[in-house]
């Protein structure tokens, strides 16, 4: 189906005619898929549909200018484009609707996302990179409106890096930075903040980005007059237009979405400008339609008047394309009608093949289960109870996986006392079915094809320098940048002044503004830069100045970064490191402790909480050899504390998922992380004076947490557990406690109630007093531990208060 013919300055009429007819076939195929797809939803075979009808022509034009090595970051209506570049077949389209879990049938996500979310496979089976220069690339779509925009910025920036930074092995990723990042978005979604932040950043950075706005005048039912000033995004953005002196800005092109020739010319012009000049281009594609409305959830007749509906029929891009083909003698009405008839048949047949491929494995499992249950009914006393399940299974000719496992699991309730061999067969069937389901629906959350808990200890000279801890992190980054040219770091104040805590002091001067860079105040696109750069083979470290500021980027971190490896079933990876600092900060907006919320929103990302800068440096060294994205929270109040300077900078590694016992004791296990550990150590010394010896465990990483299950070994010894955290009650402390009690089964060894000590429910008040009375203090730790020991032995430890 792929349209192979390129636009040339001189082309024969026959070749051009062939190209036009091929484009029309793709447009009609895509439209028929949309129409039949809607019917599949309404009949119940598919759950939901959101289609690309009405947007076919501009997507065909975009595909003509899209080259190998280019990247798309798009909108969930780009099915025609994916068909035009040869990455979406009819069968793939319907497999997506049916949520087929076989990645070969449904290559976009293996059934993990609804249809309309598109990717290309950028990794080999072993997780290594394919040669992205030999294929057309699409980063994995997400549903949140404008959520594709931050990533788009990074995809474009990668070309800038490859063009300007020497020493990077770019063979699989770039040809001197000539690649374009192509973005698509609906007109209503340009109201989102992510759109504006990205557009502004791309204009400042001057990156090769072509952004198409598909404008059909509506956002679901809401007209453009409620969405956009002047009802036109290109009008609003006129101030971004480059002037004659070509100062930083955009090239802005406006074109009607039903005009084939104008569209092809517009996209060819856009790609030439962006590819050669590294300039962002906005293409405002106007006068588009949405023939079936927004989605299968409702009809657009509810909110469009008769005049608008009539206009949409007349100016439907496929209708206009058909008229133009006939008027210009490229085909006859009879031939066009025959093409349309043939395509209708092809789409129907492709739909059937997709459904048959989806349902076939279920039918096989259906046969197996039916035979097992029938045998159990014959051989047990549960025949009457099992007959309804057997009858329902027989009546279900096209079962879902859910139908089968529900019947199997419920059947067990009626054969509790039956011990025949066929019951064992049923139990094995259920076990194997669950294993297959866990793989189909739960695999690839983390990219852990490499060993993550490697530990290489820091090496110190006999008389090692004792320095401010910031020097450890700075000199370690220096070694990283010296030995890894593909690594770069960027963020607010990260460049010229070397970050607010001087952890990058002097490194921009040494390695240049492309590798150690300042950004504007725009956390969502700082994160987006990192995602896009990592998708193109670079190793970015995106710095968000303080932990609290991560809130601005949390949607992108949660919906895009954390889910990418999972939602592509391991076909894409984004090994981004997000650097920030927090803990023991003062004030409502600078509390630096909201980890409980973050933990529950970014599963899929490693969350690392080093207690000092040497541990932090070791995490960076480890992560740069791994593929999983990570979030590192350095201790803000630790940069001026003294640490020894290791000799093996850039080489020592802090293990991920491994806890460290930093003080041994016999009376109670205290688990914590980050800056709070210093307070606990102070309290431990005071507790020892009254005869209480606590064991202190630094978890080091929250995700993953204690993969070797060492904490439970400590609890076996002390028989008591206290988790201390400066997050709110029920935050990270509850997360840690759940892991210890439920996953490690530490409850078996407890002689006292497991407890937590946390900050107050409110955000911390400002000032030293506010910090003391809002977060756990050394006195709080002392009194909490003492109270637990008092309950255990009131004679030895009389009540304090």
The encoded tokens of residue 587 equal 């004030």
Q: Note whether 614 and 646 are within 8 A (CB).
A: yes
462 CB neighbour count, 10 Å cutoff: 4
3-state secondary structure of 736: helix
Q: Note whether 554 and 565 are within 8 A (CB).
A: no
The active-site residue out of 117, 590, 762, 790 is 590
223 counts as catalytic: no
The encoded tokens of residue 270 equal 């856009």
List CB contacts of 272: < 8 A, sequence separation 6 or more. none
Q: 3-state DSSP helix/strand/coil percent for the chain, to nearest 5?
A: 45, 10, 40
CA distances from 642 to 502, 647, 768 (A): 15, 16, 22
Give me the half-sphere count of Cα atoms (radius 13 Å) on the Cβ side of residue 640. Answer: 3
3-state secondary structure of 580: strand
Angstrom distance (rounded) from CA 646 to CA 346: 67
Residue 459, sorted as left (phi over 0), alpha (psi -120 to 50) or beta, turns out to be beta
Beginning with the edge strand found earlier in the chain, give each strand of the sheet holding 137-138 in spatial order: 137-138, 71-73, 181-186, 209-214, 281-286, 251-256
Angstrom distance (rounded) from CA 347 to CA 34: 10
CA distances from 242 to 203, 246, 541, 654 (A): 10, 5, 31, 48
- Phi/psi of residue 57, each to 5°? -65, -50
Angstrom distance (rounded) from CA 294 to CA 494: 43
Q: Note whether 280 and 209 are within 8 A (CB).
A: yes
List CB contacts of 350: < 8 A, sequence separation 6 or more. 89, 90, 91, 93, 94
Alpha-carbon dihedral sign for residues 217, 222, 227, 231: positive
Which residues are catalytic, by number?
590
């Amino acid at each position: 189906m792929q349209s192979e013919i390129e636009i040339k300055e001189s082309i024969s009429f026959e070749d051009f005619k062939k190209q036009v007819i091929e484009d029309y076939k793709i447009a009609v195929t895509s439209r028929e898929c949309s129409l039949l797809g809607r019917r599949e939803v309404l009949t119940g075979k598919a759950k939901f549909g959101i289609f690309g009808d009405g947007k076919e022509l501009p997507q065909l034009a975009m595909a003509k200018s899209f080259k190998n090595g280019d990247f798309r970051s798009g909108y969930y209506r780009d099915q025609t484009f994916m068909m035009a570049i040869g990455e979406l077949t009819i069968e793939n389209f319907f497999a997506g609707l049916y949520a087929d879990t076989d990645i070969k049938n449904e290559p976009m996500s293996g059934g993990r996302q609804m249809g309309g979310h598109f990717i290309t496979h950028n990794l080999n089976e072993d997780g290594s990179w394919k040669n992205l220069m030999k294929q057309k690339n699409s980063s994995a779509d997400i549903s949140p409106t404008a959520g594709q925009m931050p990533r788009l910025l990074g995809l474009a920036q990668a070309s800038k890096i490859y063009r300007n930074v020497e020493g990077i092995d770019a063979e699989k990723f770039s040809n001197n930075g000539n690649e374009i990042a192509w973005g698509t978005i609906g007109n209503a979604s340009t109201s989102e903040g992510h759109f504006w932040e990205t557009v502004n950043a791309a204009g400042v950075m001057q990156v090769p980005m072509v952004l198409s706005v598909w404008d059909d005048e509506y956002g679901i039912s809401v007209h453009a007059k409620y969405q956009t000033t002047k009802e036109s995004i290109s009008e609003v953005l006129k101030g971004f237009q480059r002037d004659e002196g070509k100062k930083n800005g955009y090239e802005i092109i406006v074109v009607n979405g039903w005009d084939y020739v104008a569209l092809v010319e517009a996209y060819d012009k856009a790609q030439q400008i962006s590819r050669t000049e590294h300039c962002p281009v906005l293409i405002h594609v106007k006068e588009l339609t949405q023939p079936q409305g927004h989605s299968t959830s409702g009809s657009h007749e509810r909110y469009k008047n008769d005049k608008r509906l009539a206009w949409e029929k007349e100016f439907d891009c496929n209708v206009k394309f058909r008229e133009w083909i006939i008027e210009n003698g490229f085909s006859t009405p009879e031939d066009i009608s025959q093409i349309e008839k043939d395509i209708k048949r092809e789409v129907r047949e492709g739909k059937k093949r997709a459904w048959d491929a989806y349902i076939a494995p279920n039918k096989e499992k259906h046969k197996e289960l039916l035979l097992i249950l029938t045998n159990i009914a014959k051989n047990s006393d549960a025949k009457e109870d099992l007959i309804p399940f057997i009858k329902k299974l027989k009546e279900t000719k096209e079962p879902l996986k859910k139908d089968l496992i529900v019947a199997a699991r419920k059947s067990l309730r009626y054969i509790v006392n039956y011990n025949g061999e066929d019951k064992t067969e049923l139990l094995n069937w259920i076990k194997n079915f669950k294993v297959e389901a866990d793989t189909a629906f739960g695999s690839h959350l983390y990219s852990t094809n490499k060993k993550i808990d490697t530990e290489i200890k820091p090496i110190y000279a006999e008389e090692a320098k004792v320095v401010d801890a910031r020097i450890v992190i700075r000199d370690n980054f220096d070694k990283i940048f010296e030995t890894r040219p593909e690594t770069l770091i960027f963020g607010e104040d990260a460049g010229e002044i070397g970050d607010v805590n001087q952890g990058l002091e002097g490194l921009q001067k040494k390695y240049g503004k492309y590798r150690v860079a300042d950004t504007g105040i725009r956390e969502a696109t700082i994160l987006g830069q990192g995602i896009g750069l990592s998708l193109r083979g670079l190793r970015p470290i995106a710095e968000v100045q303080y932990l609290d500021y991560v809130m601005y980027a949390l949607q992108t971190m949660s919906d895009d970064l954390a889910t990418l490896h999972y939602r592509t079933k391991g076909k894409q990876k984004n090994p981004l490191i997000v650097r920030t600092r927090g803990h023991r900060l003062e004030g409502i907006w600078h509390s630096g402790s909201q980890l409980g919320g973050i933990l529950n929103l970014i599963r899929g990302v490693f969350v690392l909480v080093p207690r000092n800068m040497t541990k932090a440096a070791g995490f960076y060294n480890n992560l740069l050899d791994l593929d999983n994205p990570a979030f590192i929270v350095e201790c803000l109040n630790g940069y001026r504390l003294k640490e020894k300077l290791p000799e093996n900078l850039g080489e020592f590694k802090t293990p991920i998922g491994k806890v460290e016992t930093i003080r041994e004791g016999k009376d109670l296990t205290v688990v914590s992380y980050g800056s709070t550990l210093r307070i606990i150590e102070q309290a431990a010394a005071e507790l020892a004076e009254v005869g209480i010896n606590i064991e202190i465990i630094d978890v080091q990483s929250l995700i993953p947490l204690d993969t070797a299950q060492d904490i439970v070994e400590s609890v076996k010894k002390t028989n008591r557990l206290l988790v201390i955290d400066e997050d709110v009650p029920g935050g990270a402390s509850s997360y840690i406690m759940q892991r210890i009690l439920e996953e490690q089964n530490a409850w078996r060894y407890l002689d006292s109630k497991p407890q937590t000590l946390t900050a107050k429910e409110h955000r911390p008040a400002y000032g030293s007093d506010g910090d003391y009375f809002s977060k756990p203090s050394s006195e709080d730790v002392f009194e909490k531990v003492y109270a637990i020991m008092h309950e255990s032995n009131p004679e030895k430890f009389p009540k304090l208060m």
